[in-house]
Amino acid sequence: MTTVQVGCDLMYSVTNPTSFLFNVAAARTAHQTIREETLQLNPYIKYETSSLGTEDIQVYRLYVEPCDLQLQYRANVDLYPEIYDTSGIIETGYSQLPNEVLPYLSPSRYCESDRLTHFALRMFGNAEPGFSRVTAICDWINSNLDYEAGSTGESTSACDVLIQRVGVCRDYAHLAIALCRALCIPARYISGYAVALQPPDFHGFFEAYLGSRWYLFDATRMAPVQGFVRIGTGRDAADASFATIIGEATLTYMAVWAEQTEPNQITNQPVSPSAVSTTKS
């Protein structure tokens, strides 16, 4: 078990009545429990806390008149990642996949797996199926993309990134997800906090469905997966934005952090050859 203190401060200049959906709270899962948690809004605004989907994602929804809005989220989260020996983790044949993971095989807005079938088979078709194939995809992405803040935008997709060869964490995840799906491996997008991420920010990583569970991967390799605190889960980043804004508001300040406070020190060493699962299903 590891305890991580996470939080974010967000400030918005709201210039018209605006609805917000904030997806910044740590999710409630069998491997991630919330010890304490606070949300402060300044000025105080009535908000609704509700669950989204099946992963016990918790979102805050509010409706705001023009103002300068400050959101402060803090939580202490206990992480109980399950660590597996990677060698025994195989892929599940299509006919054995549970129905609920099938949507994560479909192409999505930012993961056009349908266009990448030939490429994926050509590059990874002969790789050993299972955990090692997904690792090979991450290896390739890590070697063939450059991480550069600000190099991509809201509309950048996996195919765009494959052409440009430069992106940020969400782009790395999108390309990995698209390649997995093209190989018939269910894959999905995870947003979260990440211990030891430099510079600190929200992070985008992904899960692949292997054997009978979801395993965490980070194609950027910028932080150890054991220190990831899950926020949202989706087909791609379109489903897991930290703030959905319907109205007129401008982000004027943003700080995000994740720090380990309890033993079992998570270090930013090269990700070990261990497989990490943090999803109950």
Query: What is the DSSP code string of 27-45?
Result: P-BTTEEEEEEEEEEES--
Q: Tell me: does residue 59 bind its own copies (CB under 8 A).
A: yes
Of 16, 40, 51, 264, the residue at the interface with its own copies (CB under 8 A) is: 51
In the complex with its own copies, the residue whose CB is nearer, 35 or 122, is 122
In the complex with its own copies, the residue whose CB is nearer, 54 or 252, is 54
Min CB(121)–its own copies separation in Å: 9
Which residues within the stretch 189-218 sit at the binding site for its own copies (CB under 8 A)? none
- CA dihedral (83, 178, 220, 146) in degrees, to 10, reads 160
Q: Tell me: does residue 13 bind its own copies (CB under 8 A).
A: no
Q: Tell me: does residue 127 bind its own copies (CB under 8 A).
A: no
Please give the single-letter amino acid code of residue 212. S
Q: Tell me: does residue 263 bind its own copies (CB under 8 A).
A: no
Contact 185, 121 (CB under 8 A): no
Query: What is the spatial distance between Cα 74 and Cα 37, in angstroms, rounded to a whole number?
Result: 6
Of 90, 127, 238, 243, the residue at the interface with its own copies (CB under 8 A) is: 238
End-to-end CA distance of the chain: 20
Q: Tell me: does residue 182 bind its own copies (CB under 8 A).
A: no
Which residues within the stretch 85-124 sit at the binding site for its own copies (CB under 8 A)? 93-95, 99, 102-103, 106-109, 111-112, 114-116, 118-119, 122
Min CB(3)–its own copies separation in Å: 29
Min CB(254)–its own copies separation in Å: 21
In the complex with its own copies, the residue whose CB is nearer, 166 or 254, is 166
Query: What is the spatial distance between Cα 98 and Cα 258, in angstroms, rounded to a whole number?
Result: 34
In the complex with its own copies, the residue whose CB is nearer, 90 or 238, is 238
- Among residues 249, 208, 5, 223, the alpha carbon closest in space to that of 90 is found at 208
In the complex with its own copies, the residue whose CB is nearer, 40 or 54, is 54
φ and ψ at 95, to 5 degrees? -75, -15
Min CB(135)–its own copies separation in Å: 21
The 241-260 contact track toward its own copies, x by CB under 8 A, reads -----x--------------
87-102 burial: b if 16+ Cβ within 10 Å, else e: eebebbeeeebeeebe
Query: What is the DSSP code string of 216-277?
Result: EE-TT--S-GGGEEEEEEESSGGG--SEEEEEEEEEEEEEEEEEE-SSS----SSPPSEEEE
Which residues within the stretch 132-171 sit at the binding site for its own copies (CB under 8 A)? 146, 154-155, 159, 162-166
Whether residue 199 is preceded by a cis peptide bond, meaning omega within 30 degrees of 0, is yes
Min CB(255)–its own copies separation in Å: 26
Q: How far is CA 25 from CA 14, 22, 204, in A?
A: 22, 8, 15
Report the interface residues with its own copies, using CB under 8 A. Answer: 19, 21, 50-53, 59, 61-63, 93-95, 99, 102-103, 106-109, 111-112, 114-116, 118-119, 122, 146, 154-155, 159, 162-166, 184, 234-235, 238-239, 246
